[in-house]
Amino acid sequence: MLSAETLDYGLLSEQAKSLIAGEPNLTANLANISALIFDSMPDLNWAGFYWVDTPEQLVLGPFQGKVACVRIPIGKGVCGTAAATGITQCISDVHAFPGHIACDSASESELVVPIRCGGKVVGVLDIDSPMLSRFSDTDARGIEQLVNVLEQHLEQH
């Protein structure tokens, strides 16, 4: 595992690209990407996906970490806000986020990146940490780069 300062997001994105190359199954790809992130990024307690299930809610997808909330209303909590706005949410203190949904009480900070296909938000990548202020702008841009790899794959399949 690398320290936050030495994590090479370009390499992480290339690893994700290699893991999903030629594999059309979404569940398999999301499972491998969540495992890659959880194993590669230090100081995480959860990494995984929520997918748009209905126009009103997200449903849990593949992840690494403790059991999680199964459904999240779009527009609620950090994940629902990212899905509703299409904007990456980099939250230093989840307890200060209005309407935060605490799936794991150990989570202190959170990074959520929307996933698009056909120009529409279809899900989010959610990463939690038990540390306050764990995620930087560099982390946000790096994970957005990784999500872009997934989005390109989705567009092709």
1-34 pLDDT, tens digit per residue, is 444 557 999 999 999 999 999 999 999 999 999 9
51-92 pLDDT, tens digit per residue, is 999 999 999 999 999 999 999 999 999 999 999 999 999 999
**Per-residue pLDDT, 7:** 92
Confidence category of residue 103, pLDDT binned at 50, 70, 90:
confident
Residue whose pair of structure tokens reads 């890659």 in the numeric block: 36
- Element (DSSP H or E) covering residue 137: helix 137-156
The residue ranges of every structural domain in the chain are 45-156
At residue 77, the 3 state secondary structure works out as helix
More confident residue, 3 or 109: 109
At residue 62, the 3 state secondary structure works out as strand
**Per-residue pLDDT, 104:** 75
Tokens in use for 119?
A: 């120009």
pTM assigned to the model: 0.94
Identify whether the C-beta of residue 80 lies closer than 8 Å to the C-beta of residue 73: yes
Return mean pLDDT, the chain: 94
Q: With CA atoms as reference, report the closest residue to 101 among 136, 63, 134, 73.
A: 73
Residue whose pair of structure tokens reads 């690494």 in the numeric block: 64
For the 45-156 domain, the top CATH level (class) is alpha beta
114-152 pLDDT, tens digit per residue, is 999 999 999 999 999 999 999 999 999 999 999 999 999
More confident residue, 99 or 78: 78
